[in-house]
Structure 1
């Protein structure tokens, strides 16, 4: 009797401790996402294919990462048959970490050579991210050469825009060197004349002040002589 009771109690405890998953909670019913090697490769390929979109001066990075997440999710479900959903922020964060690793390996490749790098994603990323601006522009022009847009651009002739001469330099540009020298001498002569006139005016002011001082002095002396007491 005691043994049956103990077994029954153990069974009841075991059933109560078993977690149940509700079908109404979609996040818990789906498999938890983790970056596998295949998923990482899908992220690298998708992000590199959209590198020109991310490199535009004006673009919405959030929308682009949402597109990356949708494409990676679709490829993972096709190749791995997993009902997982990759979020945009997960792709962004994973790519930032991979970009930091790529830059470290790129520095190592510069110092020791490409053969010293054994990271499996380096070659694919370096073919796109390792190109300079000149190489990218040359590649873009090569692609445009065979298209209608490239032919139309090549056939157009552009007229260079020359700077407009200022109004102050126009009179001097039409004068020969001798006239310019003569004009300079005339200006210097005018300056000397103005300086002489100003000097004469200053001398007149000084003379007037001296005359006024003499007049005041003589007037003071005459007043003193008048006020002397008679003996």
Structure 2
């Protein structure tokens, strides 16, 4: 599936990640949510492929603000092609999101083998924010042509902390037109500022829409609607 073009004329997409229960999936019906993420890597939000398959079926029945079902995204860290094959055999994802040391050639192999969109995640280090000449954004360039989107996150992932946002402009430039999603410490009270200042291709949130470790539909709704309203 082709990614939407990135640019100031199009809206920022919303991805809600770390889903683990059917009730939350059902409650998302009608909300302006474009992607729903399931974590297969080791995490307190990890789901088994069998549970993910049930939740994916639920997502397929949803209709977002545009009248279509959100895409389903699987989060992996350094999987083998066999790992992906086995997961996809059970859980028919739309997108594979890779958080490890996966090479551009691996991304290409996964796209070719499974006919699926592939996103590559890179961590923004403190040096990226402090040094305007840091090499961080240049890491994207070898992946251009091999992936459908990039996602940048605070180093360490899942920290609930933001990184120095001004570096987003340099990552957008380095992405060469490939859609760029931003994660890391986002929540309903700061996402509007991010979207207004940097117009990323998408925003990705997990802990920022949780209360005591569980997804909170009030926060999910507020987050999605605030992004849509920018």
Q: Normalising by structure 2, report the TM-score.
A: 0.25
Structure 1 or 2: larger helix share?
A: 1
Q: Which has the larger radius of gyration?
A: 1
Structure 1 or 2: larger strand share?
A: 2
Larger relative contact order (C-alpha < 8 A, sep ≥ 6)? 2
